[in-house]
Amino acid sequence: MPSTCRISSLIPAGFIAENETRIDDEIVLTVRAEASIAPCPICAAPSRRIHSRYIRHVSDLPASGRLVRLRIVTRRFCCEAPRCPRQIFAERFDETVLPVRSRRTARLEGLVHHLGLALGGRPAAAFAKRLMLPVSNDTLLRVVRRRAISRAGPLSVIGIDDWAFRRNHRYGMIVCDLERRRVVALLPDREIATIEAWLAAHPEIEIVSRDRGGGYGEAAAKALPHAIHVADRWHLFENASAAFLDAVRKSMRSIRMAIGATTINPELLTCAERLQYEGYLRREETNAAIMALTKDGVSIKQIVRRTGYSRGLVRQIIRGRRTDVFRVRLSTLDAYLPWLDAQWAGGCRKGAELWRRMKTRGFHGSARVVSEWATRRRRAEKASDQNLQKVPSARTIARLMTMARDHLSKADSVTVAAIEAGVVALVEARRLIERFHTMIRTKIEADLEPWIAAASTSLLASFAAGIAKSKAAVRAAITQPWSNGQTEGQVNKLKMVKRQMYGRAKIDLLEARLIGAA
């Protein structure tokens, strides 16, 4: 069955089409309201007496790639109520179809608003052009701003946090409605007066979730003395971590001693050459023992049985090919290693010079062998020097100490074990931090007082003092279900929107886009 598209199906509800014309790419629909009577906007009395008519031009959604403009034949009525101050009024239409004084139908404006929220001014305007939506950049921004206002209901639970207008430069504050999960306001700075004024204008707020520190904690307490103040749990954890880092910093001297005493022994770090030399001595010993047995007339079979060395080896030693048997790379140096060590210790560290001196002592090897030895030796010493200084930074130590043991590398767990053995106060501090985390996570309010008492005599004393000072808010953080987590989320959204607008957004527009989007 063929379906016909009638022009009346294009026009908004409540209107009747009278005429349709096409001008270039534009469809112009002349329409009028269905209703024959209209209520006076002042006294609400219905009127039938038409005074005059005029044409109101309104843009609507595009159709098939064409702009659609409505020519609305609008009537002026005379108010018939005797005492009404208004004598003549223009008819109004359904707000959900065509708002008062609007140049766009509600459905077009809704689309424009969403476009503005999603893309911001200029990109949205470019996209709108493609969609044949007749709006400019300015219009988009105006719609976003206008629609953002007067959306919030009564506030009861809010979260406050700061956000960077420009990092390390200018900060503002964000206020979120934690119940409805939406942004309520962006404040242009972090001044106490600003937040105090804003809060004072909203006395209905019952619960404020916020960072413990910063001036605005006090401002909030002052402006809303009857509200419950909840210290933000995320910030509490962060403060605790910072306090532990501080404790590590304070203990760096003892940490350095603990690490230095256990893991580094410079005597043992004089490299492979020492091992090689020891091997050489051992070999010489074996050779001498076997040669002595041969001299005594002991058979090879007997020697093998007594010493446990292989038959081939014993035979080679007896035949005088002993050095070949144990051939290692530095063979020509072997005999000189004790002497080289002594020269090195005496301050002679140049390969060429060492070689010259060795030559006078009967060394037949090349200068290269000696200079390579010197290079290796220098490297080995450098490495051991670095090891001596290699105490990790306080931040690294704090991280290692609070990491799960099985996530540590072997070297790191040696370091941690050394610190744990050497710096007992730090172990205590870590235990207190863990207890703090557990207390907040598992909501053990009763542990707050004992924890403060225990921590105040530890490395975390100043953190404990801070917690004691804002005890009520911390207690609320343990008992209340509210958290500022979603405020952080909104801050992230804010950052994204801000970036989209190339960081040039004015605060009211940012606010409008965030509030409108919620």
**Residue range at the interface with Zn ion (CB under 5 A); choices 61-69, 71-79, 328-336, 400-408:** 71-79
Measured from the CB of residue 40, what is the shortest distance to Zn ion in angstroms? Answer: 3
Sign of the dihedral through C-alpha 503, 505, 508, 511: negative
Pairing of strands 88-90, 207-210: unpaired
Measured from the CB of residue 84, what is the shortest distance to Zn ion in angstroms? Answer: 3
Of 114, 165, 168, 130, the C-alpha closest to 513 is: 114
Measured from the CB of residue 44, what is the shortest distance to Zn ion in angstroms? Answer: 7
Centre a 10 Å sphere on the Cβ of residue 475 and count the other Cβ atoms it contains: 17
Interaction pattern, residues 386-405, with Zn ion; x per rule: CB under 5 A: --------------------
Measured from the CB of residue 96, what is the shortest distance to Zn ion in angstroms? Answer: 23
Measured from the CB of residue 69, what is the shortest distance to Zn ion in angstroms? Answer: 31
Select 78 or 118, whichever has its Cβ closest to Zn ion. 78
Are residues 195 and 220 in contact, defined by beta-carbon separation less than 8 angstroms?
Answer: yes
Measured from the CB of residue 80, what is the shortest distance to Zn ion in angstroms? Answer: 8
Which residue in 40, 72, 223, 439 binds Zn ion (CB under 5 A)? 40
DSSP characters over 358-414: HHHTT--S-HHHHHHHHHHHHHHHHHHHHHHH-PPPHHHHHHHHHS-GGGS-HHHHH
Are residues 232 and 210 in contact, defined by beta-carbon separation less than 8 angstroms?
Answer: yes
Select 86 or 222, whichever has its Cβ closest to Zn ion. 86
Q: CB neighbours of 388 closer than 8 A, spacing ≥ 6?
A: 260, 264, 266
Select 82 or 308, whichever has its Cβ closest to Zn ion. 82
What CA–CA distances, in Å, run from 425 to 393, 400, 418? 18, 16, 13
Measured from the CB of residue 52, what is the shortest distance to Zn ion in angstroms? Answer: 17
**Residue range at the interface with Zn ion (CB under 5 A); choices 40-48, 148-156, 349-357, 463-471:** 40-48
Count CA within 13 A, CB hemisphere, residue 233. 20
> Rounded distance, CA 287 to CA 276, Å?
16
What CA–CA distances, in Å, run from 291 to 282, 294, 319, 327? 14, 5, 10, 19
Interaction pattern, residues 76-115, with Zn ion; x per rule: CB under 5 A: ---x-x--x-x-----------------------------
Enter the DSSP assignment of 212.
S
Select 2 or 82, whichever has its Cβ closest to Zn ion. 82
Which residue in 28, 43, 131, 394 binds Zn ion (CB under 5 A)? 43
Select 84 or 427, whichever has its Cβ closest to Zn ion. 84
Select 86 or 107, whichever has its Cβ closest to Zn ion. 86
CA angle 349, 276, 314 (to 5 degrees): 145
50 binds Zn ion (CB under 5 A): no
Select 93 or 436, whichever has its Cβ closest to Zn ion. 93
Measured from the CB of residue 33, what is the shortest distance to Zn ion in angstroms? Answer: 18
- Rg (C-alpha) for the chain, rounded Å, is 43
Measured from the CB of residue 90, what is the shortest distance to Zn ion in angstroms? Answer: 13
Which residue in 13, 35, 42, 383 binds Zn ion (CB under 5 A)? 42
Select 44 or 272, whichever has its Cβ closest to Zn ion. 44
How many residues lie near Zn ion (CB under 5 A)? 7
- Residue numbers of the site for Zn ion (CB under 5 A)? 40, 42-43, 79, 81, 84, 86
